[in-house]
Amino acid sequence: MIIVYTGGGKGKTTAALGLALRATAYDKKIRMIQFIKGSWHYGEMSSSSRLSPEFEIVAVGKGFVGIMDDVSTPQQHIDTARQALSLARKSVSDDTLDIIILDEVNYAIHLDLISEDDILGVLDACHAGADVVLTGNYATDRIIQAADLVTEMRSIKHPFQKGIRAKQGIDF
Ligand code: ATP
Ligand code: MG
């Protein structure tokens, strides 16, 4: 099954984490690969070890691209996205893994760090027993076509609009 969480509302990565939490109950082996995040510390990076060895998070990305605290060059972002891509390729052909989560992968495509064809190739190469989850806004039409389940998070309200910044335990 190919699952996509996209849209401008909050909840895409946390939906994928919730899915991982549920799946560990059945001894499924899950790997989340983070394509963009990496420079910030997110709570799940610590708490995932409590679900180890069933669940692991590999943060490959270098953090925000072009905004906030971005100190990486465009080429460094491309290199790290390609590293994440190569781990994704390896992971989908690893039949000891049941669920592979490609976190923020849609942004990596949107920002031209990797191509849509790269990821469609990963989906094609996926072993028959695996489920793949793709998160990030701007999922492309062809990714949506390839998916079995697509949910669009739509923002109705976000505290950011009131000037409230990211909150520990909620946003990171
Ligand atoms: P989360 O990790 O909380 O599930 P997400 O994966 O849906 O969020 P991303 O696009 O990956 O969202 O962005 C990550 C950060 O941006 C989070 O801190 C999140 O709270 C914030 N964010 C998400 N949606 C919005 C929004 N509509 N307005 C402002 N900030 C947002
Ligand atoms: Mg996210």
Name the phi and psi angles at 11, rounded to 5.
130, 5
Whether pLDDT at 131 is above 60: yes
CA 72 to ligand 1 centroid distance, Å: 21
Q: Quick one: which atom of ligand 1 is closest to the CA of 172?
A: 18
What's the mean pLDDT when you consider all of the chain?
92
Q: What pLDDT, in 10s, does the model give residues 71-112? A: 678 888 899 999 999 999 999 999 999 999 999 999 999 999
Residues with CB under 6 A from ligand 1: 8-14, 104, 135, 137, 153, 155, 158, 160, 166, 171-172
Give the pLDDT confidence score for residue 42 in this predicted structure.
86
Q: What is the mean pLDDT of residues 149-170?
A: 95
Q: Supply the pLDDT for residue 4.
A: 99
Give the residue among 129, 102, 113 at the shortest CA–CA distance from 20: 102
Q: Give start and end residues of each alpha helix (H) in 63-115.
A: 74-92, 105-110
- For the stretch 12-68, pLDDT in tens is 999 999 999 999 999 999 999 999 865 678 899 889 999 999 999 998 865 555 565
Give 160's Cβ-side CA count (13 Å radius): 9
Q: Report the pLDDT value the prediction gives residue 106, as an integer from 0 to 100.
A: 98
Percent of the chain residues topping a pLDDT of 70: 92
Write the residue with the smallest CA distance to atom 24 of ligand 1. Answer: 10
